[in-house]
A and B are shown apart, each in its own frame.
Chain A
């Protein structure tokens, strides 16, 4: 399958296979009025297979959100057909209003207008916990 290279824009590369739609939704890419290509299960020497998102417009991506989802993702900025910047991500210390707490006993399930904040509590195992109730962001 061939997808044209972009002239100006951003390529989100090395996405774990199957994760691209989650990123598309969390970054609200559906609201963008520009060409976007989502490539799923592309062959990768490094990863076996991977997903890629190509966005044909200059935009500031929320790197914290991306870093939270997967710090192994790379973000390439393309200008005039040339790769001008390659960013490697890292796990953010705090994630603000990206995900919601799933603990039914958490105050965030009832309190209106509250910020949903998660803190990185275990970098090695990529564990985030709700600031309020300390429940894990993702259950194993």
Chain B
């Protein structure tokens, strides 16, 4: 049984295959509109995430499949105390594939041990969010054309930003990559991520508090939101939430072909006046996410 729990479950070759499928879907959508006819995707969202859930549902619908599920724990049997294992054991009798979001870290791994159908981790707490990383990778491929020899700046909450951890891991496998880590001291990239994917692989990196100092060197600027739900106390959240805000003024120092990415939703960390800048690709990024989810569903369901 194939599942996607962690982006590192996929080899570089498998990611290349998914990207090739996604690009073919973009070029020839009609070829794929019946591929998952009579198949069902269950979206089990124990924590609300409208964007990710809609992306999965749109992906399955564009493949001709159907969707069922719930969008928060309150409307599921987990509110009655049912375990993740039991919920998944039941739902895998109803659906052909499951996309699952859960506030507890490791919940999709537990699900994959009990499920009779493929499980896709659609986000587990502050831990992993591999389909966001797939969206990020397709964005980089479509916007920059290649993965190697890129300088990627990550800005904002690098401590709790799981999309950052996964993208650092995924990009660390390509030659000539350089990382620039921009955050307040309290929200620095965790040492195990830095050691495993950057230091141990001898990848050059810079750690800084100042976006202004480094923005001119970047090929990609990956912005993140400081997320309230990742903090245990309100005080720390309020102190750090406005740490890094990207403005049109700051963008003047960036190169003409730098791209701005963001996993969305944003609050105020990117000024809306940047939205019309051709370098801002965060809305295109969400669309790429849908195509990668389509490619992933096809792969996991082993549909040709």
* Chain A residues in the interface with B (C-beta under 8 A): 103, 105-114, 130-136
Pick the contact of A106: B83, B84, B106, B192 (CB < 8 A). Answer: B106
CB contact under 8 A between A132 and B106, given known A105-B125, A111-B84: yes
B278 beta carbon closer than 8 Å to chain A: no
B contact residues around A106 at 8 Å (CB): 104-106
B142 beta carbon closer than 8 Å to chain A: no
**A133 x B106 contact (CB < 8 A):** yes
B12 beta carbon closer than 8 Å to chain A: no
Interface residues on B, range: 10 to 19
**B106 x A130 contact (CB < 8 A):** yes
In angstroms, Cα B127 to Cα A133, docked, is 7
In angstroms, Cα B127 to Cα A108, docked, is 14
CB contact under 8 A between A107 and B104, given known A114-B110, A132-B110, A133-B127: yes
* Chain B residues in the interface with A (C-beta under 8 A): 83-85, 102-107, 109-110, 124-127, 192
Could you tell me the dominant secondary structure of chain A's interface residues?
loop
Contacts A105-B104, A110-B104 known; 11 new A-B pairs at CB < 8 A? A103-B105, A105-B103, A105-B105, A106-B106, A108-B106, A111-B85, A111-B110, A132-B109, A133-B104, A133-B124, A134-B127
In angstroms, Cα B109 to Cα A132, docked, is 6
**A131 x B192 contact (CB < 8 A):** no
A contact residues around B104 at 8 Å (CB): 105-107, 109-111, 133
Least Cβ distance of B227 to chain A in Å? 13
Complex: chain B residue closest to A112, CB-CB: B83
Least Cβ distance of B100 to chain A in Å? 11
Least Cβ distance of A124 to chain B in Å? 11
In angstroms, Cα B127 to Cα A104, docked, is 13
A contact residues around B126 at 8 Å (CB): 105
A contact residues around B106 at 8 Å (CB): 106-108, 130-134
B contact residues around A105 at 8 Å (CB): 103-105, 125-127
Complex: chain A residue closest to B192, CB-CB: A136
Complex: chain B residue closest to A103, CB-CB: B105
Pick the contact of A133: B84, B85, B105, B192 (CB < 8 A). Answer: B105
In angstroms, Cα B110 to Cα A110, docked, is 12
A contact residues around B107 at 8 Å (CB): 107, 111, 132
